[in-house]
């Protein structure tokens, strides 16, 4: 997922060929002018080509991801690369499925993580105006300790491990889904600022609604409820519920593990809170658990729960409405494919086609100590002379009628008369 340059690539096509270089290389069909440098074996390829392209390649090879093919020529590429696999066709899966999912998960994780921590912190900022700027925390100290450690750790872990927007087969069907990663759309400076604004809004709601609801009010038996400990409990419960619902909105792929993590964390919060605020813990560790009785005395009040309900929905409903309207007005490729996914059946899996290879003929070399046989490789003199007709395509095309406007090109190694290759 290279985002090194901000220029839009002029050609956005899924290409999988033998090698695919950043600078223009005149190949059989047309000029490749893409953003990616996939270097199979950095050193040998650098030697194989002209000197002035070497630097470009080496920069590319060391910049983002390096992919190596392990094979009979040796493991040199594997050792110096980030990902390695045995067959070239796996590259498609690496990019279109795993790479894409990885980008998606990473961006969702980052956005959610920044959101939850900024909100948590901004609430303290607003409280400063009401506590004499004394840095009094709104929340219980134990909550602050356990917030990132326990209450929100597992759900976001579940999101980052399991989330998928579309199936892997649909990912093959629509390589255009790869575009947001190329364009750096999901998490950029603009996205970060939007996240901050959302945090600001949420923190205003999460502080001022409890503030207004608790101002000068009492329990239904006349006793105190506007005390610091009850207010802290109310604010922290609101915060955690809002964060859990926000994570639920972000999660597109609810496995059983996700369900368990999210609801389990919320249940765990209540269990731990009631335990910490119980008589037993106070009697054993008196000065560590001063909040005794707070949960029992405030969470049985209807106005507390009504405040929690109001706060949660006021934080979440704008997000839901905004996302819905955005899907209607400006659907992204993701939205369209997901919409289609609900309607249609899965496309057939692409069957790996066995390529008959004769062991004496090779198509790749890995020498790094000398100039190497780059010229020989790129001239394709040594390739098998098989008529084109009977030679099966290396990659199956899955051009469905629906994808006509974005044709998918797969370069096949075809036989060419000699001398047509230009470096």
Partner 1 sequence: MVKEEQELANRPDNTAFTQQRLPAWQPMLSAGIVIPGFVIIGLAFIGIGVALFVTSHSIQVLELDYTGVENTEPCYRCSDPSSKNCVCTLEFSIDSLFEGPVFFYYGLTNYFQNYRKYGASRDDNQLSGDLDYFKSPGNDCAPYQYNSNNKPIVPCGAIANSMFNDTFKLYQIIRGSKKLVPFDGKGIAWWTDYNIKYRNPSVTPLKNAFNDTVKPLFWSKPAYELDPTDPANNGFINQDFLVWMRRAALPDFRKLYRRITEGDYAKGLPAGNYSLEIAYNYPVMSFDGRKKVVLSNVSWMGGKNEFLGIAYLVIGSLCVVMSIVMLIVYAKFKFPEED
Yes or no: say if 388 and 415 are a contact pair by the CB < 8 Å rule.
Answer: yes
From 292, 308, 315, 366, residue interacting with partner 1 (rule: CB under 8 A)? 292
d(CA 120, CA 12): 41
CB of 336 to partner 1, least distance (A): 6
From 296, 353, 371, 382, residue interacting with partner 1 (rule: CB under 8 A)? 296
Q: Based on the shown chain and the rule CB under 8 A, indicate whether residue 219 belongs to the binding site for partner 1.
A: yes
CA dihedral 31, 35, 39, 45 (to 10 degrees): 50
CA distances from 383 to 21, 128, 219, 358 (A): 21, 74, 86, 10
From 211, 367, 373, 410, residue interacting with partner 1 (rule: CB under 8 A)? 211
> Tokens representing 209?
């609604």
CB of 222 to partner 1, least distance (A): 4
Q: Based on the shown chain and the rule CB under 8 A, indicate whether residue 48 belongs to the binding site for partner 1.
A: no
Near partner 1 in 86-105, by CB under 8 A? 86, 101
Near partner 1 in 242-281, by CB under 8 A? 252-258, 279
Q: Based on the shown chain and the rule CB under 8 A, indicate whether residue 144 belongs to the binding site for partner 1.
A: no
Near partner 1 in 356-415, by CB under 8 A? 402-403, 405
Q: Which stretch in 35-43, 126-134, 377-385, 410-418 sits in contact with partner 1 by CB under 8 A?
A: 126-134
Q: Based on the shown chain and the rule CB under 8 A, indicate whether residue 14 belongs to the binding site for partner 1.
A: no
| Other beta carbons within 10 Å of 377 | 20
Yes or no: say if 5 and 22 are a contact pair by the CB < 8 Å rule.
Answer: no
Q: Based on the shown chain and the rule CB under 8 A, indicate whether residue 145 belongs to the binding site for partner 1.
A: no
Determine if residue 30 is left, alpha or beta; phi over 0 gives left, psi from -120 to 50 gives alpha, anything else beta.
beta
CB of 70 to partner 1, least distance (A): 10
Cβ nearer to partner 1, comparing 29 with 216: 216
d(CA 382, CA 72): 18
From 64, 340, 391, 411, residue interacting with partner 1 (rule: CB under 8 A)? 340
Q: Which stretch in 3-11, 263-271, 329-337, 362-370 sits in contact with partner 1 by CB under 8 A?
A: 329-337
CB of 387 to partner 1, least distance (A): 31
| Other beta carbons within 10 Å of 246 | 21
Alpha helices in 39-99 (DSSP H): 42-48, 51-63, 76-79, 90-93
Yes or no: say if 383 and 365 are a contact pair by the CB < 8 Å rule.
Answer: no
| Residue whose tokens read 């009979």 | 72
Cβ nearer to partner 1, comparing 64 with 252: 252
Yes or no: say if 223 and 130 are a contact pair by the CB < 8 Å rule.
Answer: no
Q: Which stretch in 16-24, 88-96, 150-158, 328-336 sits in contact with partner 1 by CB under 8 A?
A: 328-336
Cβ nearer to partner 1, comparing 36 with 178: 178
Near partner 1 in 26-45, by CB under 8 A? none
Cβ nearer to partner 1, comparing 350 with 368: 350
> Tokens representing 57?
């390649």
């Amino acid at each position: 997922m290279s985002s090194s340059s901000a220029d839009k690539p002029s050609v956005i096509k899924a290409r999988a060929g033998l090698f695919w270089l950043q600078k223009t290389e005149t190949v059989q069909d047309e000029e490749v002018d893409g953003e990616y440098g996939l270097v199979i074996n950095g050193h040998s390829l650098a030697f194989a080509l002209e000197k002035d392209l070497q630097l470009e390649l080496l920069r590319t090879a060391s910049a983002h991801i390096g992919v190596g093919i392990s094979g009979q020529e040796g493991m040199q590429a594997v050792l110096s690369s980030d990902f390695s696999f045995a067959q070239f066709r796996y590259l498609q899966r690496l990019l279109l499925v795993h790479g894409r999912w990885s980008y998606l998960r990473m961006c969702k994780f980052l956005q959610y993580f920044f959101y939850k921590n900024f909100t948590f912190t901004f609430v303290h900022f607003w409280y400063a105006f009401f506590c004499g700027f004394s840095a009094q925390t709104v929340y219980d100290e134990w909550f602050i300790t356990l917030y990132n450690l326990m209450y929100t750790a597992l759900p976001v872990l579940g999101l980052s491990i399991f989330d998928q927007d579309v199936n892997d087969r649909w990912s093959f069907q629509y390589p255009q889904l790869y575009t947001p990663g190329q364009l750096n759309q999901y998490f950029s400076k603009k996205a970060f600022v939007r996240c901050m604004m959302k945090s600001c809004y949420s923190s205003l709601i999460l502080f001022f609604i409890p503030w207004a609801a608790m101002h000068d009010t009492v329990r239904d038996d006349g006793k105190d409820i506007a005390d610091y400990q009850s207010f802290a409990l109310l604010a922290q419960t609101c915060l955690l519920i809002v964060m859990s619902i926000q994570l639920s909105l972000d999660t597109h792929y609810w496995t059983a593990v996700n369900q368990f993590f999210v609801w389990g964390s919320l249940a765990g919060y209540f269990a731990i809170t009631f335990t910490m605020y119980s008589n037993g813990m106070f009697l054993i560790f008196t000065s560590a658990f001063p909040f005794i009785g707070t949960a029992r005395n405030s969470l049985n009040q209807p106005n507390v729960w009504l405040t929690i309900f109001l706060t949660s929905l006021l934080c979440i409903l704008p997000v839901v409405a905004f996302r819905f309207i955005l899907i209607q007005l400006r659907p992204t490729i993701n939205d369209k494919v997901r919409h289609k996914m609900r309607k249609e059946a899965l496309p057939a899996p692409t069957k790996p086609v066995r390529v008959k290879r004769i062991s004496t003929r090779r198509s790749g070399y890995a020498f790094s100590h000398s100039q190497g046989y780059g010229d020989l490789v790129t001239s394709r003199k040594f390739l098998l002379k098989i008529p084109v007709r009977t030679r099966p395509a290396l990659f199956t095309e899955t051009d469905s009628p629906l994808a006509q406007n974005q044709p998918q090109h797969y370069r096949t190694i075809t036989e060419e008369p000699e001398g047509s290759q230009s470096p």
